[in-house]
Chains A and B, each alone.
Chain A
Amino acid sequence: MKPATVVIVGAGPAGVRAAETLVAAGVRPVLIDEAARAGGQIYRQPPEGAGFVRTKSELYGFEAGKADALHGAMVRIAGKIDYRPRTLVWAVGRNTLDTLRDGQQESVPFTHLLIASGATDRILPFSGWTRPGVYSLGAAQIALKSQGCAIGARVVFAGTGPLLYLVAYQYAKAGARVEAVLDTNAFSRQAAATPKLLKSPSTFGKGLYYVSWLIAHGVRIERGVTLLAAEGERAVSGVRFGRGGKEHSIACDAIGFGYGLRAETQLADLAGCAFRFDALNRAWLPERDIAGRTSVPNIYLAGDGAGIAGADAAELAGRRAALALLEDTGHRVPAGAAALEKKLADIARFRAGLEQAFALPADCTAAWPDDMTVCRCEEVDAGTLRRCIRNGEAREINRLKALTRVGMGRCQGRMCGAAAAELLSAETGRPVSDVGRLRGQAPVKPVPISLAFTAGDDAPLASPDDSDE
């Protein structure tokens, strides 16, 4: 068999554990990561040598041990992999990745590709969400973890999901003033989900701890709210929300919000992987088997990029996918696949509870004012989308995109796609699974034209053609 060229995209928990497993079997993978240092979003490290002094326990709290272990694993394999930090994979060809590093283009060939692309915040818009001072929960956490700064002096955190309470706790712990935590889900929903959440008692316990700590430290927690508006002129001066049939306002100078996480699936899309609608994630996800094999031979998935399951599951899935890859490339496969699969199944049951406790408030679309921006890249508001849908012009998401530009801009729907789909679903009275999936196109993130002037990448345009104008 021809020697495999293995490329892993993403140096978070899934990617690092996959690389470690491959190294142990004698494979030297290429490990590509957008960040300057390994760890992914959850175990993100501050910039090296820049004088950041917060300890791992200050940075990662209960997860300090896991963060330290993952960072340590990366240090141990550093000499045995081709590690490419600060590198964006912007396109996937049949056997090649196009990458951008320091403004330079490089094509990276692969025979086997393991995508561990992670997740971003799942965003649903609310009035004023594009005002300066409004951040996603993930961005608020990155500011703290990576740069040691807060998004504001008086912060409100809003939305739903485990990250909501965790970020509020981390901010308060770091000395920021948290004015309130606004959860769009009712307490009763979270109580009802408790039996499933107890599948992972330690994780559940940590969640309880954050909430108790916040309450003990006098942080206001409101549940069952409807986010109405980020208020202010040039910047945020307060948040308005509804609860129990009344409107309330809280003054603040920054808002961090989000509704759980969204799998970053664009690379799998460009690689041609088949997708299916996943009811738990309420999103289209690339198909994969328990081992991480996709519908495309020699392409594997692991971690939150294939469906949200959290950091612990990502480590397990990274190891499991690496075992599958070893098996498929004719290597001796170490034992342990069955144990990994069992642990992954346990976590999946816990995830079902989390989604029940922190469900997306998909019914909020009816309250969106017509002048609220849904797609900030292309500046498309809710009224434009509604008119297009109500005129009968679009019943499918790519059609809505073609006619209104929603999801057509810089982020290609990574931020607004879920909102557009929920609105289309509500307006047409069909389940969100029936309104289609936004197709991705390269580049997955904007790239400068100047990358085409990278030395050595200067083949001329071959046969000219004047007929396509």
Chain B
Amino acid sequence: MNSAERLDFDVIVAGGGLVGSSTALMLARRGLKVGLFERRYCGAQASGVNYGGVRTQGRPVEQLPLAIRARALWSRLPELVDTDGELVVSGHLRLGRSDADMAALEAYARVANPFGLGLRVTGGAAFRERYPWLGAAAFGGSLCPTDGHANPRIVSPAFARAARAAGADIREQTAVTGLRHDGSRFVVSAQHDSGARIDARSTWLVNAAGAWGNTIAGQFGETAPIEPIYPNMLVTEPLPRFIEHNLGVYGGGVYARQVTRGNVVIGGGRGTGDGEYAQPLTDTTRRVMRVACELLPALREALVIRTWTGVEGRTPDDNPIIGASTTTPNLLHAFGFSGGGFLLAPGVGDVLAEIIATGETHTPLDAFGIGRFLAASATTFATTPDTTTTHPSTESHE
């Protein structure tokens, strides 16, 4: 057996999803020495198989400063990662299906517009005339003109590739097998699928392990009440272009976008899984088909060519965990994005790199600290997100 490869970094990032890869990229661009360990392939989990919404609208107010910062980076994708990621600034139209929904959309616009979302709420005859392709179930909607959608399969690996090009040491098929802080530095053991071992040290550690974030956090005596969720997705064959915006619905249930090629990507509800692997559920798929047709009647005769899902970590308040550990200096968490991480991720990488390089950030993260859960986690959650602590079937709309 060969001895382990010895590596030394300023920062080690655990997890090569979009959060980890963007953090590595931003750190490398600031001239720091970064290593990233990904047990499978970068951007192949939730980061690469999610719906692809680039959406600031509808987020809780506490996320908006971070979301706005992230959105600005999306406009710079060609410069940052050498691809536009198929970003389409289509606008995001959030639909209301009742007068109460419309009132809620108006109220949200009043709160969110001071952050610069530019929301415009319309309804009634003008709305119907403007959107003849929407079904009668849609009373009206709130349009965020600067939102859009992009291709996760392209974007997420591109960040990892760009990070590597910027000098980060990106190791795929390399699982973290051991973690500790020796009082002055982090000591990280990792192993490649080939069996080759790595013994790495770093000043900082970033936990970007997504649905598996607790496996890292738990090593340092703190966990968050994360449960795995499996967002259910389907896609149609290419259709003539008719869906102008990225579509959501107030209160949720279904969301849809049409890509340049013409395929309509539709999400809603949950698949099933064991915390490690996930499968779509056809019951969910069929229900989402029906709800989608109420809003988009032209979909009714379309053919669905594929369904899929992925494994994502969800917190009780649907806010992510971003920021400093409560137990260990120089440990930063960024996981548990609860289905809303795609837009945020480049901004999260930017903010974490700023914290590491300068010691501070002006983007408020107060709502995202892991400390908000610590009282609960001590009694109800194990250190790893295994299936004994979660009940995926309760998420699957049975």
Q: Which of A446, A450, A464, A469 contacts B237 (CB 8 A)?
A: A446
Question: B16 contacts the other chain (Cβ, under 8 Å)?
Answer: no
- Compute how far the CA of A466 lies from the CA of B53 in the bound complex, rounded to whole angstroms: 12
Closest chain-A Cβ to B86's Cβ sits at a distance in Å of: 11
Choose the segment among B208-216, B247-255, B346-354 that binds chain A (4+ C-beta atoms closer than 8 Å). B247-255
Q: 1/0 per residue A390-418: CB within 8 Å of B? A: 00010010110011000011101000000
Bound CA–CA A451/B285 (angstroms): 11
Residue of B nearest to A91 (CB): B282
Query: 16 pairs across A/B with beta carbons < 8 Å?
Result: A105-B286, A107-B282, A442-B280, A443-B304, A449-B293, A449-B299, A449-B301, A451-B286, A457-B286, A461-B268, A461-B269, A464-B252, A466-B58, A466-B252, A468-B229, A469-B340
A461 touches B291 (CB 8 A): yes
> A466–B306 contact, CB under 8 A?
no
Instruction: Contact check, B307 vs A465: say whether CB atoms are below 8 A apart.
Output: no
Inter-chain contacts of A403 with B (CB < 8 A): 153-154, 157
A399-B41 contact given A462-B397, A469-B340, CB 8 Å threshold: yes
Q: How many residues of B contact A (CB 8 A)?
A: 61
Contact between A452 and B161, CB atoms less than 8 A apart = no
Residues of B within 8 A of A79 (CB): none
A460 / chain B contacts, CB cutoff of 8 Å: 287
Residue pair A402, B44 in contact (C-beta under 8 Å): yes
CB of A47 within 8 A of chain B?
no
Q: Is the interface of B mostly helix, strand, loop or mixed?
A: mixed
Known A-B contacts A441-B307, A457-B286; the reply to A463 vs B280 at CB < 8 A is no
Determine if B286 and A464 form an interchain contact, defined as CB atoms under 8 angstroms apart. Answer: no
Contact in complex: B280, A469 (CB < 8 Å): no
Q: A452 and B287 in contact (CB under 8 A), knowing A93-B281, A461-B269, A469-B58?
A: yes
**Given contacts A403-B153, A459-B287, A468-B231, A448 and B302 within 8 Å (CB-CB):** yes
B interface residues, Cβ below 8 angstroms from A: 41, 44, 48, 50-51, 53, 55, 58, 153-154, 157, 161, 229, 231, 236-237, 246, 248-255, 267-270, 280-293, 299-308, 312, 314, 318, 338-340, 397-398
A469 to B308, CA, bound (A): 15
Q: Which residues of B contact A93 (CB under 8 A)?
A: 281-282
Q: Do the beta carbons of A443 and B305 come within 8 Å of each other?
A: yes
* Complex Cα gap A448–B282 (Å): 13
Considering the complex, which residues of chain A in the window 341-395 have a beta carbon less than 8 Å from any beta carbon of chain B?
A: 393
Chain A residues near B161 (CB-CB < 8 A) = 393
Complex partner residue of B53 from A450, A451, A465, A469, CB under 8 angstroms: A469
User: Nearest-CB distance from A466 to chain B (Å)?
Assistant: 3
Contact A469 B44 (CB under 8 A): no
Q: Which of A402, A409, A452, A466 contacts B286 (CB 8 A)?
A: A452
CB-CB under 8 A for A467 and B306, given A402-B157, A403-B154, A442-B282: no
CB within 8 A of A399: which of B44, B269, B308? B44
Q: How far is the CA of A469 from the CA of B340 in the complex (A)?
A: 6
* A462 to B306 alpha-carbon distance, docked (Å): 22
Most buried by B among A98, A410, A466: A466
* Known A449-B289, A453-B290, A461-B254; contact A468-B339, beta-carbon cutoff 8 A: yes
- Which are the 3 A-B pairs with shortest beta-carbon distances? A466-B252, A452-B289, A462-B397
A447 located at the interface, meaning its Cβ lies under 8 Å from any Cβ of chain B in the complex = yes
For the A-B complex with A107-B282, A449-B299, A449-B300 known, give 6 more contacts whose Cβ atoms are closer than 8 Å. A449-B292, A449-B303, A452-B293, A461-B254, A466-B58, A467-B252
Least CB distance from A19 to B in Å reads: 25
Could you tell me the distance between the alpha carbons of A368 and B269 in the complex, rounded to whole angstroms?
43
| A446 to B237 Cα, complex, angstroms | 8
A458 contacts the other chain (Cβ, under 8 Å)? yes
Least Cβ distance of B231 to chain A in Å? 4
Residues on A with C-beta less than 8 A from B290 are 452-453, 458, 461
Q: B340 touches which one: A409, A442, A446, A467 (CB < 8 A)?
A: A467
Instruction: List A contacts of B254 (CB < 8 A).
Output: 461
The residues of B that contact A450 with a CB separation of less than 8 Å are 300-301
Q: Are B253's CB and A464's CB within 8 A? A: yes
Q: What is the CA–CA distance of A253 and B229 in the complex, to the nearest angstrom? A: 54
Inter-chain contact A410/B237, CB cutoff 8 Å: yes
A462 to B291, CA, bound (A): 11
Residue of A nearest to B42 (CB): A399
A412 neighbours in B (Cβ, 8 Å): 305-306
> With a CB–CB cut-off of 8 A, which chain A residues contact B284?
461
Q: Do B157 and A446 touch across chains, with their CB atoms under 8 A apart?
A: no
Interface pair A393/B157, CB less than 8 Å apart? yes
- A403 and B268 CA atoms in complex are apart in Å by 24
Binary CB contact string for chain A from 295 to 315 against chain B (1 if under 8 A, 0 otherwise): 000000000000000000000
Report the bound CA distance from A160 to B254 in whole Å: 48
B251 touches A464 (CB 8 A): yes
| CB of A119, distance to nearest CB on chain B (Å) | 22
Q: B280 and A402: CB pair below 8 A?
A: no
With most chain A CB atoms within 10 A of its CB, the pick from B236, B286, B301, B314 is B286
Known: A457-B286, A469-B53. A410 touches B340 (CB 8 A): no
Contacts of B251 in A (CB 8 A): 464, 466
Of A105, A393, A409, which is in contact with the most chain B CB atoms at under 10 Å from its CB? A409
Q: Which residues of chain A are near B267, meaning CB under 8 Å?
A: 468-469
Residue of B with least CB distance to A452: B289
In the docked arrangement, what's the CA distance between A422 and B26, Å?
A: 37
A460 and B283 alpha carbons, distance in the complex (Å):
10
Would B340 and A465 count as touching, CB distance under 8 A?
Answer: no
Chain A residues with Cβ below 8 Å from B304 are: 443, 446-449
A70-85 interface code vs B (CB 8 A; 1 in, 0 out): 0000000000000000
Measured CB to CB, the closest approach of chain B to A401, in angstroms, equals 9
